[in-house]
């Protein structure tokens, strides 16, 4: 159970974060740059830079609004007396976690934002050179930047560039 001092410390931190986020969001809205009326005389790179800056600022503002919602939710939980108790499991959230992430309403094990990475190849599935897998030849079958003129021996066309390598692989397949 959180002590009054701990709760006060966390509330002060949340209020500080809320003030910072509110100032930044209010300041960004006041300073929206209209830019030039015409992009006719601008270089395409200048236009791309302006677009990048606008999109970056929009993403930062979206993140700031999300953070502000989390701060408000944490402050509301304090008012309700449920702050420091996991919404999912009902367990107490350790003070150290609340110090690190004062906006959290969940214990580490029950955080809904935890999503496993699905776009990574597991380390045990990465081919090793000793496995007998020739990834270059596999990729070269789809094409390379080399031309028949790049080879010492004569090649008539592109499809024959790595044909000898493929023939050797078929005679001695890796087990």
- Cα separation, 167 vs 171, in Å, equals 6
**Which domains does the chain show, CATH number per domain?**
4-29+43-110 (1.20.120.910), 127-171 (no CATH)
φ, ψ of residue 74 in degrees (nearest 5): -65, -40
- Confidence band (pLDDT; 50, 70, 90) for 175? very low
In this prediction the pTM is 0.57
Give the side-chain half-sphere CA count within 13 A for 93. 27
| 3-class DSSP state of 134 | coil
Answer whether 131's CB lies under 8 Å from 103's CB. Answer: no
pLDDT by residue (tens digit) across 13-65? 999 999 999 998 888 655 555 555 555 667 778 888 888 999 999 999 999 99
């Amino acid at each position: 159970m959180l002590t009054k001092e701990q709760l006060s410390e966390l509330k002060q931190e949340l209020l500080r974060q809320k003030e910072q986020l509110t100032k930044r969001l209010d300041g960004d809205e006041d300073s929206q740059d209209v830019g030039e009326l015409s992009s006719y005389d601008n270089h395409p790179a200048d236009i791309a830079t302006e677009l990048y800056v606008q999109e970056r600022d929009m993403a930062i503002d979206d993140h700031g609004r999300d953070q502000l919602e989390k701060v408000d939710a944490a402050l509301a939980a304090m008012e309700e007396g449920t702050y420091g108790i996991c919404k999912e499991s009902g367990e107490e959230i350790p003070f150290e976690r609340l110090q690190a992430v004062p906006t959290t309403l969940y214990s580490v094990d029950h955080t809904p934002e935890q999503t496993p990475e699905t776009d990574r190849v597991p380390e045990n599935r990465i081919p090793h050179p000793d496995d007998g897998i020739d990834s270059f030849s596999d990729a070269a079958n789809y094409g390379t930047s080399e031309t028949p003129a790049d080879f010492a021996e004569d090649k008539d066309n592109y499809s024959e560039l790595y044909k000898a390598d493929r023939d050797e692989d078929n005679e001695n397949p890796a087990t």
